[in-house]
């Protein structure tokens, strides 16, 4: 996922810039998440998340997709 693409899944009613800003702010507030993302190759300069990084985000932040019923 691109950072903006993933952010818009969590903040679909926000503008592109607002969604990305809110999403990254939220990730930084989750204790311990950013260091884990960095061990998986995260860098603020990269525009995408790897599959491993997305899995960590889903584990810590929750999935943006509704659960299957």
Residue 69 has pLDDT above 70, yes or no: no
Report the pLDDT value the prediction gives residue 34, as an integer from 0 to 100: 96
For all residues of the chain together, what is the average pLDDT?
A: 94
3-state secondary structure 15-47: CHHHHHHHHHHHHHHCCCHHHHHHHCCCCCCCC
Q: Residue 48: beta bridge partners? A: 2
Question: 63 and 9 in contact (C-beta within 8 Å)?
Answer: no
pLDDT digits (tens, 9 = 90+) for 47-67: 999 999 999 999 999 999 877
Report the pLDDT value the prediction gives residue 8, as an integer from 0 to 100: 97
Report the pLDDT value the prediction gives residue 39, as an integer from 0 to 100: 96
Q: What is the pTM of this model?
A: 0.89
């Amino acid at each position: 996922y691109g950072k903006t693409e993933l952010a818009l899944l969590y903040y679909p009613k926000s503008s592109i810039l607002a969604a990305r800003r809110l999403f990254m702010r939220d990730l930084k507030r989750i204790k311990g998440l950013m260091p884990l993302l960095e061990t998986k190759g995260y860098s603020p300069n990269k525009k995408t998340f790897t599959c491993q990084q997305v899995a960590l985000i889903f584990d810590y932040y929750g999935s943006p997709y509704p659960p299957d019923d």
